[in-house]
Every structure is written in structure tokens, then in C-alpha cells.
Amino acid sequence: MTTLDTLCLDVYKVTSQTSDNDRLSLLVLQACIRESLGTYAYLEIGSYLGGTLLPFVQDQHCQCIYSIDKRGMLQHDERGVVYSYIANSSRRMLDGLSRHCSREDLDKVRCIDGISRELDTAQFEPIDFCLIDGEHTDQSAWEDFQLCLHVSRPDSVIVFHDADIVYKGIGRVIQYLEDQTYSFNAYHLPDVLFVIELGESNYFRHALVQEHILKNGFRGYLSSLEHTEPFRRFYNTLPFKILRNVWYFLCRKNVVP
Ligand SMILES: C[S@@+](CC[C@H](N)C(=O)[O-])C[C@H]1O[C@@H](n2cnc3c(N)ncnc32)[C@H](O)[C@@H]1O
């Protein structure tokens, strides 16, 4: 039986913009899905060098993989900085992956250079596991989720990476699922993953997920909050601190009744 100790982060042989805790969380979900479904299909939005793709490429149980990536040079982000991705191409990613897997494994990967709102959903086979790690804006997170929802099976899992950045987009997603009376469960995994299990997937009941949450759940909470530290520090620099104190004083916001 798979336990946390038997999951090995060494499968992440290609550079990935994820932390060790993120990787462990993804391996936990992958193991649960493999165990319950036998074979499954994976879709990822935002692959860059293929770091988060490789564990699925190497998994014989994963029979079909879609890698959707805009492959642009510049990436907008809710943190207010435009990030540059140099020489970002599917060719480069596939070359990198090919050093760690067989030709047959690599042939499972279907690369789509584009953005979710422009894709024809009819081209996809039904998906069991989606990872959203593309543009880190609330609007993109929302649009990426809509694509995933349309192409996924009723009992699938959709995971957001960098949930601490696109939390408003995720909030909109949750509101939508509730308004449309979808059956779902949602929870946070360390460090910055937000998991939505649709229908009766119920992976959160699996012993592996439970063990991971008990041992490491708190790490994700702290790490997500620590990512907001630069904003807190900036907000507490002297001019803002004085202005806020004057404002609070004038509005009596600093008075505890
Ligand atoms: C954070 S990186 C992905 C990292 C990867 N998952 C990993 O950990 O190795 C983000 C990727 O999303 C792509 N991207 C940016 N905007 C996008 C969009 N609107 N739709 C799809 N992909 C996008 C970028 O080209 C970049 O390769």
C-alpha cells in the first residue's frame, strides 16, 4: 500500500516552479487517482519546462496527457509584476522530457500552444485530473477552470497551483459551483494547492490524503501566509503607517467598543 514515506520526490527530474510540499501533494493525488481508476487522463495548463508533467509522463497508468501553454514571453500576475519566460516552447519542453522517459511515454503528450478560452473542447478526451498553473491572474484562473470543467469527467479532480495568488479567481469558481448546485468537495494542500473534487471522486477520504493533511497541512497554511509578507511590510512602511493611523483615528476605526 502507498504511504507518504514511499512517495519519492526524485521523480521530479525536470526543473519545476513548485516547492517540495507542492510536489508531494501532487504525488499524493496522483497515487490516489491511479489506485482508484487504474488508468487515467491528465491535463495541465501551464507546463513551461515540463517539471510538473514528468511524473505523469513516466506513469504507465496515465494514458493520455494534454499540455496547454500559451508559450508567450511575458506573463501577467496578480502580484503586479510581469514575469518573463525566455525561450519558452513546447519543443524545448519535449526535448527536456525526452531525457527522462521513453519515446512511447513521450508520445502520450499532446502539446497545445494556446489559451483556454480559445480552445475547442471537442478535441479533448475525458479528463480525470487537471492542474491549473498558467497565468497567475484571477481572470485566467477562472477561464482555465471553465475549460477543465467542460472537458473533465463528472468524478474528476481539478487542482490550482499558486492558490495564494489567484484566490479571488478560485473564490469565483466556488461561488459558481455552489450557484449551479454542483456536487463537489474543496480543500487546501501544502504548500499552495487548492483541490476541487467533483461529484463522487472523494479522494479526500483516502488514507494517503488524510495522512498528508495531518502531517503537513499546517505547513501550507503558514507558507501561503508568508507569501503575503512583502505586501504587509510595504503597507507598514512609515508614510503608509502614519496615513493609516491618521485615517483610523479620524474614522474611529482604532476604537474598540
Ligand atoms: C508557472 S509556469 C508553469 C510551471 C510548471 N507547471 C512547473 O511547475 O514546472 C507558467 C506557464 O504558463 C504559461 N502561460 C502563461 N499564461 C498562460 C495562459 N493564459 N494560458 C496557458 N498558459 C499560460 C507560461 O507560458 C508558462 O510556461
**Residues 183, 247 within the same domain:** no
Nearest residue to 173 via CA among 161, 164, 162, 186: 186
Q: What CATH number corresponds to the domain at position 162?
A: 3.40.50.150
Q: Domain residues for 43?
A: 4-226
Same domain, 249 and 147: no
| Same domain for 149 and 50 | yes
In terms of domains, do 172 and 60 share one?
yes
pLDDT in the model for residue 104: 97
Domain count, the chain: 2
Q: Name residue, grid cell 512602511.
A: 237
Please give the number of the atom of ligand 1 that sits closest to the Cα of 17: 8
Same domain, 196 and 238: no
pTM comes to: 0.96
Whose CA is closest to atom 16 on ligand 1?
135
What local confidence, expressed as pLDDT, does residue 53 receive?
98
Centre of ligand 1 to C-alpha 68, Å, is: 8
Q: How far is CA 195 from CA 33, 41, 68, 201, 243, in A?
A: 13, 17, 19, 12, 39
Q: Which atom of ligand 1 is nearest to the CA of 162?
A: 1
Note whether 35 and 71 are same-domain residues: yes
Ligand 1, from 48, 85, 119, 164: best to mutate by most atoms within 8 Å of Cβ? 48
Same domain, 56 and 134: yes
One domain for residues 185 and 254: no
The answer to whether residues 216 and 123 belong to one domain is yes
**Any ligand 1 atom below 6 A from CB of 224:** no
Q: Contact 21/190 with Cβ under 8 angstroms? A: yes
Say if residue 121 is exposed, middle or buried (CB neighbours under 10 Å; 0-12, 13-18, 19+). exposed
Do 241 and 139 share a domain, yes or no? no
Say if residue 47 is in the same domain as residue 172. Answer: yes
Predicted local confidence at residue 257, as pLDDT: 85
In order, the DSSP letters of the chain are ---GGG--GGG--S--S--HHHHHHHHHHHHHHHHHHSSEEEEEE--TTTTTTHHHHS-TTEEEEEEEE---SEE-BTTS-PEE-TT--HHHHHHHHHTSS-HHHHTTEEEEES-GGGS-GGGPPPEEEEEE-S-BSHHHHHHHHHHHHHHEEEEEEEEESSTTTSHHHHHHHHHHHHHTT--EEEEEETTTEEEEEETT--GGGSHHHHHHHHHHHHHHHHHHHHTTHHHHHHHTSHHHHHHHHHHHHHTTTT---
User: 74 - beta bridge partners?
Assistant: 84
Per-residue pLDDT tens, the chain, 257 aa: give them.
788 989 999 999 999 999 999 999 999 999 999 999 999 999 999 999 999 999 999 999 999 999 999 999 999 999 999 999 999 999 999 999 999 999 999 999 999 999 999 999 999 999 999 999 999 999 999 999 999 999 999 999 999 999 999 999 999 999 999 999 999 999 999 999 999 999 999 999 999 999 999 999 999 999 999 999 999 999 999 999 999 999 999 999 999 88
If asked whether residues 189 and 242 sit together in one domain, one would say: no
